[in-house]
Structure 1
Amino acid sequence: MHGARSSPEHNRATPVHRPRVQMGARRVVPPPSCEVVCRRGSRGHRVCAPSWRGAERWPVSGSVRMMLAPLAVRDFRRYYAGQTASAFGDALTPLAIAFAVLGLTGSPVDLGIVVLSTRLPVILLTLLGGAAGDRFSRRTVMLLADLTRFAAHGVTAVLLLTGTASVWMLVVLQLVAGAGSAFFNPAAVGLVASLAGRERLQAANSLISLSRSTASMLALGTAGALVALAGPGWAIAADALTFLVSAAFLYRLPADLAAERLQRGGGLLASIRGGIAEVRGRSWLWVWTMHAAVTNLIVVSPILVLGPYVADRHLGGAPAWSAIGIAYAAGGLAGGLVGARWRPARPMAAAILFFLLMAPFPALLALPADVWLLALAAVAAGLQLVVYNVLQTTCIQHHLPERFVARATSVTMLGGLVAAPLGMALAGPAVALLGTRPVLGVSAATAVLLTAVTLVAPAVWRIRGDHAAPASGPDLVPEPTR
C-alpha cells in the first residue's frame, strides 16, 4: 500500500519461547504472542494496533477469531466489561419504575408521565450530546454522564426504599437520568471507533450488541423476581451500581486525544449545525435517518402499544408476552453473532433487506397467531434489529471523518427518538378509529413497502463494507482538513 511503512523497531519479530519437547511426548503449542505493529495511514498519521503472532496455531476458526479480535485490545476489553454490566442494569429499570409508580398511585396517567420524563430529555438534548461528544473528550463526557445517572438512580432507590418517594420526585430524577443518556450515547459510538480500530469496527459493535442481548435475557428473568421479592427500590439500586461500575471502567481508559484533533472553531450551536449539514450533505445518511423514523412511527410503536393488549385479551396475559420478549432477546443474541461474522459488500443495502424480517411479527400479532408462532417471529425481529444497528453504526464510524461521528450519530438517532413517542401516542386513536387488526396490518405492510422504496435510492448501493475500499462519489468524499 502506498505510504504504508513500518518502523524497524515496531516490525521486529518478538522472540517467542518454545519449550523443549522430548521424543514421544505430546507437542506443546505455545500461546500466541502480541506485538504492536505501526504503519503510516493514508494521511500520514501513524496508526498502531496489536498483532497476534501465532494465533493461527490455535484450534479456533478464522471467523471466531475475527469476531473476538476487538477483545485483544485492552482498552476495548475494559469498555466492554463496563457496558455489559450497565446493559444488565438498563434492562432492570423499566419494569421497576413501572411498578414503583403503580405502587405509589396506581394511575396509568402518572406512569405515562414518568416514562415520558425519561425519554423527553433524550429527544431534546441528543444533538447537544453529539456536539459535546465531538468537541470534548468522549471518555470524559461519558464518565460524567454515567456519574449523573448513578446519582439519579441512586437517589430514586433511596426514596423508594425509605417510603418518601412521590411521582413528581420520580419525574425530576428521570429527567436527570435521561439527560445523562442523551450525552452518553452519541459519544459512545465515537469512542468505540477510536478504541477498536477501523479493521475491527463491525466485530466490536457486534460484541456490544451480544452483551446487550444477553443482559436483556438475564434481566427479563431477574427483574420480575427482584421486584416481587425485594421491591422496585432494590432493582433500581442495582441499576445505579451498574452505572458506577461502567464509570469505573471508563476511568481506567486513557484520556482519549480525539478532542485535540477535532475542530474547535465556534460554539456548541455551530457544532450542531455542522453535524446537521454533514448528514444533509450525505444522501445515504439522510435516507437511513428517514428509514429509522418511519420504522419507529408506523412499524414499531403500534407493536409496543398493542402487543401487551393483544396478549392480555387473546394469548393468556403477561406470561405469554414475557415469553415473546425472551424470544425477541434471543433473536438479538443471534443477530449479534450474525453481525460479527457477516461482512456484506454493501452493508446498507443488506441492513435494509434484513428489515423485511420485521414484517411477520405485526402480521401474526394481528391475527392473532399462537404464542409459539409469535415467538418465532419475535426471534426474526430481534435478529434483524441487531444486524441493522450493527451495520448502520459501522457504516457511520467507517465512512465519516472522526470529528463528525458523534454528531452524525445524534442526528440519525433523533429521527427515531421523535417518531417513537409520536407513534405510540397515535396508536391508541388509530385503534379506536380502525381497530387493532387493521393497525397492525398497516405496520406489517409498511415494513415491506418501506424496504422496497428505500432500496430504490442509489445511495443505498454505493456504501461499501469496512473490508472493502470505500466507494467513490460525492457522498463519500471526506471533508478537507481546515
Structure 2
Amino acid sequence: MTSPASPAPAAPRPFAWAGRNFRIQTAATVVSGLGNAGAPIATAFAVLEAGGTATEVGWVTAARLVPLVLFLLVGGALADRLPRHHVMVAANLFNALSQAVLAALVLGGATPLWALLLLSAGGGAGQAFYAPASEGMIMESVATEHAGKAFSVYRMAMNGAQIGGAALGGALTAAVGPGWVLLLDAAGFALAGGLRIFLKVDATPRDVAHSGGLVHELRLGWREFASRRWLWAVVLQFSFVVACVGAVETVYGPVVAAQRFGGARAWGLAMAAFGIGMVAAGLLMTRWQPRRILLVGNWGVFLFALPALALAVRAGLPLLVAAMFVSGAGVTVFGVNWMVALQQEVPSEMFSRVSAYDHLGSIALTPLGTAMAGPAAEALGLDGALWACAVGTLALAAAVLVVPEVRRLARPLPAAAAAPLRESVGV
C-alpha cells in the first residue's frame, strides 16, 4: 500500500525578510522622495519667476543647508531619546506645513525673498530632525542576516524616487508652474507622515540613560563615534570627497555641458545616467554580500572620481554618460556596505546620534567646496580644477585604506561556515 504523498513545501514568499516596519518606512520614503526631489527645481523657478537672480537662487539653496548643519546633532540626540517614529512624523508634518505655506505664496503671486529664505530654512530644519531618526529606524527594523539585501532594496527605492521625482518635478514645473509642484511636495510629506504613524515600535524603551540631559547624550554619541577609528576616518574622508563631488556636479559639470555639449540637456542626461547607475547597483547588492564590508565599499569611492576625470580629459558625451553611470553604481556599493557596517558595529540605542555625526561630518565642507569652485577654476583653469577634484578623490580613497579596520572589518561568518573553521583551529 503506497503512502499518501506528502504535501509540497510552500514556496517562500517574496520579501519574506521585510517586516512591517521596513515596508512602511520604505513606502513612506518613496512617497516623500517623489515630491521632495522636484521641490528644489520648483523653488529655483519660483525665485526666477519672482524676478530673482541666480545669486538669489543660491541664497535660497544655502538657506536650507544652514539649519540642516546646525540642528543635525540635536536631531540625532532626540531620535535616540524619543520614539524614532514620533520624531519622523513630527518632522514630516512640519515640512508639509512649511511647503504648503510656500506653495500658497507662490500660487498667490506673493513671494518675497525673505519668505523664500525663511521657508527654505524651515525645510532644512525639518530634514535635520528627520534624517537621523529615519536612518536609525531603518537599521533597527532589519535583522542583521538580511541587512545587505534590505539596505539595497531601501536605497533602490529611495534613489528611484529621487530620479522619478526630479523628472516629474521638472515636467510639472514647466507644465503647471512651481506652486503646484510645491503643493504636491507638501501633500507627499503629509502622506508620508501619515504612513509612519502605523509603524509598530516595541514598547520597551531603548537602554539609554537620560539623566544627564541632551548635552550629556551628545557627548555619549561623540564618544561612540570617536572610539571607532574606521568610522571617523571614513567620515573625515567624505568631508573632502563630498565637497569635490558636489563642486563637479553643481558647478563644473553644468559649465562644461554649456561649453562643450550644447547646454543643460546633456548634463541632465549625465545626471540621469548617474541615478540609473545607483539603482542598477542596488540590484547587484541584493545578491552580493561581500565579506570585507568597508574594503569593498571603499572601492566604490574610487569610482566617484570618474566624472571629474572624464570632464578633465575632454571626453565625449557617451564616455561622460558612462562615467556617471559607473560613479552612481559606486555610490550604492559604498552606501549599502556602510549601512551594514553601522548596523553591525554600533549599538542600536546610539544609531541616530552616530548617524547625525556621520551626516554632519560628511557635508561639513560641501558649502565651502561649492563656494570655492569658481575661484579654483579661475586660479587653476577649469581643466586644472577638475584634475584637482579627480586626483584628490582618488588620493583620499587610497589614504583611508591605511586604517587597518577599514581593510579588515568583516561580516560574521554564517553558522554553517563558521563551524568547520572553529574545528580547524581546535575551538
CA distance in 1 between partners of 2:258 and 2:8 (Å): 58
Give the alignment of 1:67-106 within 5 angstroms. Answer: 68-71=15-18, 73-106=19-52
Q: Deviations over 1:397-444 (max 9, x none)?
A: 111111111111111111122111111011111111111101101111
Partner of 1:238: 184
SS at match of 1:341: coil
Partner residue of 1:447 out of 390, 393, 413 = 393
The change in CA–CA distance for 1:258 and 1:320 in structure 2 (over 3 A counts) is farther
Cα distance change of structure 1 residues 217 and 302 upon mapping to structure 2, 3 Å threshold: closer
Which residue of 127, 141, 149 maps to 1:181?
A: 127
1:361-411 CA-partner distances (Å, limit 9, x unpaired): 101112322111111101011111122111112211111111111111111
Query: Which one of the candidate residues 301, 305, 321 is aligned to 1:359?
Result: 305
Q: Distance in 2 between matches of 1:415 and 1:135?
A: 21
| Partner Cα separation in structure 2 for residue 300 and residue 115 of structure 1 | 13
Aligned equivalent of 1:412: 358
- 8 A Cα contact 2:35 2:169, kept in partner: no
- Which residue is equivalent to 2:384? 438
Deviation for aligned residue 1:159: 0.9
Q: Deviation of residue 262 (structure 1)?
A: 2.2
Matched residue SS, 2:291: coil
Return the match for 1:305 from 223, 241, 251. 251
Task: Return the alpha-carbon distance in structure 2 between the equivalents of residues 258 and 459 of structure 1.
Answer: 33
Give yes or no for contact 1:362–1:441 (8 Å, CA) kept in 2: yes
Instruction: Sort the Cα spacing of 1:173 and 1:70 in 2 relative to 1 into closer, same or farther, 3 A.
Output: farther
1:111 aligns with 2:57: yes
User: What is aligned with 1:225?
Assistant: 171
Deviation at 1:69, TM superposition (A): 4.4
Deviations 1:111-155 (A, max 9, x none): 111001111111111111111111111011111000110101111
| Alignment equivalent of 1:208, drawn from 154, 160, 170 | 154
AA of the residue aligned to 1:297: A
Structure with greater helix percent: 2
Q: Residues 467, 331 of structure 1: CA spacing in aligned structure 2 closer, same or farther, 3 A cutoff?
A: farther
Deviation of the 1:276 alpha carbon: 1.1
Per-residue deviation, 1:75: 2.4
Deviation at residue 347 of structure 1 after TM alignment: 0.6
Paired residue for 2:411, among 465, 475, 480? Answer: 465
Cα separation, 2, equivalents of 1:121 and 1:361: 30
CA distance in 2, matches of 1:322, 1:29: 51
Contact 1:288 1:412 in 2 (8 A): no
Count of matched residue positions in the alignment of Structure 1 and Structure 2: 412
Over aligned residues, Cα RMSD in angstroms?
A: 2.0
Question: How big is the shift at 1:204?
Answer: 2.0
1:160 matched to which residue of 2?
Answer: 106
The question of 1:383 aligning with 2:329 is answered: yes
Specify the alignment match of 1:42 in structure 2.
none
**2-structure distance, mates of 1:168, 1:390:** 39
TM-score (norm 1): 0.82
Distance in 1 (CA, whole Å) between partners of 2:312 and 2:130 is 37
Tell me how far apart the structure 2 counterparts of residues 329 and 309 of structure 1 sit (CA, whole Å): 20
How far does the alpha carbon of each residue in 1:281-302 deviate from its partner, in whole angstroms, 9 at most, with x for none?
A: 1111111111111211234323
Deviates more, 1:261-270 or 1:403-412: 261-270
Q: For residue 252 of structure 1, what is the amino acid of its counterpart?
A: F
User: Do the aligned partners of 1:217 and 1:329 also contact (CA within 8 Å) in 2?
Assistant: yes
Q: Percent same amino acid at aligned positions?
A: 32
2: CA distance, partners of 1:375 / 1:99? 26
Give me the whole-angstrom Cα distance separating, in 1, the residues matched to 2:216 and 2:98: 30
Query: Equivalents in 2 of 1:260, 1:218: separation in Å?
Result: 37
The Cα offsets for residues 311-353 of structure 1, whole Å up to 9 and x where unpaired, read as 1111110110111111111001012112222211111111111
Please give the per-residue CA displacement for 1:198-255, whole angstroms capped at 9, x wherever unaligned. Answer: 2222222211110122122322332222001100111111111111111111101124
**Could you list the runs of 5+ residues in structure 1 that have no partner in the other structure?**
1-19, 22-26, 33-53, 59-64, 470-482
- 2:76 aligned partner: 130
Give the structure, 1 or 2, with the largest relative contact order (CA under 8 Å, sep 6 or more): 2
For 1:318, the equivalent position in structure 2 comes to 264
SS in 1 for 2:211: coil
Q: How far off is 1:160 after superposition?
A: 0.6
Query: Aligned partners of 1:248, 1:353: CA distance in 2, in Å?
Result: 39
TM-score between both structures, scaled by the size of structure 2: 0.92
Tell me how far 1:263 sits from its aligned partner.
2.2
SS at match of 1:261: coil
CA contact (8 A) 2:42 2:181 kept: yes
Find the partner of 1:266 among 203, 207, 212. Answer: 212
Unaligned runs of 5+ in 2: 416-427
CA distance, structure 2, for counterparts of residue 252 and residue 308 of structure 1: 42
8 Å CA contact 2:243, 2:363 repeated in 1 = no
The partner residue of 1:398 within 338, 344, 357 is 344
Instruction: Give the counterpart letter for 1:171 in structure 2.
Output: L
Find the residue that maps to 2:199 and give its secondary structure: coil
Per-residue CA deviations over 1:264-284 (Å, capped at 9, x if unaligned) read 221111111111111111111
Structure 1 stretches of at least 4 aligned residues deviating more than 3 Å after TM superposition: 27-30, 255-260, 466-469
Q: Give the AA of the match of 1:109.
A: T
Give the residue type in structure 1 aligned to 2:309: A
In the superposition, relative to structure 1, how do residues 247 and 70 fare at CA in structure 2: closer, same or farther (>3 Å)? farther
Is contact 1:302–1:439 with CA below 8 Å preserved after alignment? no
1:467–1:81 CA distance, 2 compared to 1 (3 A) = farther
1:102 deviation in Å? 1.1
Q: Which moved more, 1:290-299 or 1:168-177?
A: 290-299
